[in-house]
Structure 1
Amino acid sequence: MTNILILGLASLLTDVSTEMVYPLLPLFLTQALGASPAVLGFIEGLAESTASLLRVFSGNISDRWGRRRPLAIAGYAASTAGKVLLYLALNWPTVLAGRLVDRLGKGIRTAPRDALIAESADPAIRGRAFGLHRAMDTLGASIGVVLAYVFLQASPGQYRAIFLWALIPAVLAVAVLFRVREPAAPARPERTPPLRWSALDRRLRGFLLVIFLFTLGNSSNQFLILRATSLGVSAANVILLYLTFNVVYTAVSYPAGRISDRVGRRLVLVAGYAVYGLVYLGFGLAREPAAVSALFPLYGIYIGLSEGVEKALVADLAPRHLRATAIGLHATLVGIGLFPASLLAGWLWTAFGPAAPFYFGGALGLSASAALFAVLPPGARRAATAPVP
């Protein structure tokens, strides 16, 4: 568990840094730099999708190389460099560059890091290992949001000063990773075969297809922040709402992973996507600040139920010598879908009003819940948690 705790600490520190910045970006872009919601959608969609293209390649390189740590360190270092650009930004293209470098770092590190987690935990407790990592990650996010709120209250509108302070935990996260040890690798084929879609487990193929289609309606979380401000929630109170989301996410992640180890990934994921669909419909129907105040913590339940459990499911169903590649493929499909999703959300917002992207996302979320119920049938419940050699 030492590796998992160190990786969790690195993620905690990185998320302290990221969440000091992330909830302020839509305010920085629209208020300080005069950008529109469509520009916000373009920046977030392009940054996430471009970065995600690297994840499958980073995972495959890690599998071929047989090492995880160097790529994880390089990825966290790149994300730190991206935050420097945000501090220097005087216009939205520089913000785009900063977000691209930051997300490219995430694209490099995600698959090797998650493979390290999977290989550092016994398969019987893999769900709780990913749940613990996500809980530490989101604890850092909660701390980061609190710090952003404190700084913003002390110096309203001083976004760049907050971005500068955010560099400190980002640098510490990179330093912590040098304490991670590479797990002993089992015997591998002399040549790691390329990832072929037909070679993947049938359940994994079905799961990846459902997740990709769902992602087309899952736009950037920054649209949730914009929705709250459009209903009259102040900038400071939006940050507090984002904090409640992260606190709930932290509280749910580990129990969700532990439950998935016992009853299977299927039931937890179906519940998670059903919650997402209902919450997004709620954001569309909301007409008062009190309504969105209730929806942010419910959104944290969805993330807590789904994110770590999804990674555990992919690790369960992928062969050991292609595990990082398969994890990277999952992250790549999610990221590729985020670009059109965020562009579409920005267009729907502009053309049909703030509620439109949430109606669309809610419908896709409920559809994804039903599709996962079919793709991972009851007979596969235990099999979905059985390790693949």
Structure 2
Amino acid sequence: MAIAFRVLLLLLTISGSVVSTLGHGIGINYGQIANNLPSPSHVVYLLKSLNMSRVKLYDADPNVLSAFANSNVEFIIGLGNEYLEKMTDPVQAQTWIQQHVQPYISQTKITCITVGNEILTGNDTQLMSYLVPAMQGVYASLVNLGLSKEVYVTTAHSIGILGNSFPPSAGAFRQDLAVYIQRILAFHSQTGSPFLINAYPFFAYKDNPGQVPLEYVLFQPNPGMKDPATNLNYDNMLYAQIDAVYTAIKAMGHTDIQVKVSETGWPSKGDSNEVGASADNARLYNTNLLNLIQKNQGTPAKPSVPVDIYVFALFNENLKPGPSSERNYGLYYPNGTLVYDIGSVSLSSQSYLPLPHMEYSASKKNVISFFNILLLPILEGVVKR
């Protein structure tokens, strides 16, 4: 019975400790730029153990959407930048919805479609001109198909769309992007959809480690920085960035649009010139952020509006281009073990429960029960004894 007790204790530890850390509706980004990730059916069990109820994809992978049927997980799905021109055509937009949303939405909760990612901070002005017409095309298709009340349409922006971000009361969008952003804000106001930002205080620290206090970007105790116009004190950069976006939106005449953080995170590893990229700092950033979010409080300028975030990312992705940090934002290695401690869950305890043997293909629909494969044989052995 000692073995059975240890197994049950392990289950309670994982289902209790991780749930208390990652519950409360916090979302996770599920990227798949890798060749060693577990199949979606295995990811279902991992996210259930985390009590994670919201997931953001960068595409509309049918294998993922099928695997999560009847799971009560809410999905943001993505339309890649390469689709924007096609989505300006009402017929192609509706065909896309009929092929990628309608077949799954009755069993898998799809609540949002992001049309493009960080378009305005790229160099393709043609894509920029397609963005709002594409958003309008997707939204019109949802209306035609009776889905516009269930699924909202938006796009995700880099925090680089701000021309000024501090103090937050002086937040302003880049002048060269104003014509595009004004149309986007009009769309959000008309449809009731949120304004999404990808915000990474890591980049600000990496570029200016001598000027940006580490405690300020990692949500650790610090005196903070006062906004001279409002006298509001900011003790972390992320909340200052969010309020700067609210100010920039208000300066364009809108006060009815909610800002949500579609990506934020910290890399556990980086190149020699990527100052601050470490497992310790990643652990501090994410655990301190999650603890702060669970307090259900807003930013200094919006105290009654709870902050809404999607952590980047679920897994390390080994095929992402760019510096080493790009491949090391995951909370988990592809085998299902933690990259670093999350809250009260330790690497040592989590390492006893790796994911079951994985088929390294997102196309395989091998639904294997985590409990049956790993734990049931142990318990059966105890009973037989």
More helix by share: 1
Bigger Rg over Cα: 2
Higher-RCO chain (CA-CA 8 Å, sequence separation at least 6): 1
The answer, yes or no, to whether TM exceeds 0.5 is no
Instruction: State the TM-score, normalizing by the size of structure 2.
Output: 0.24
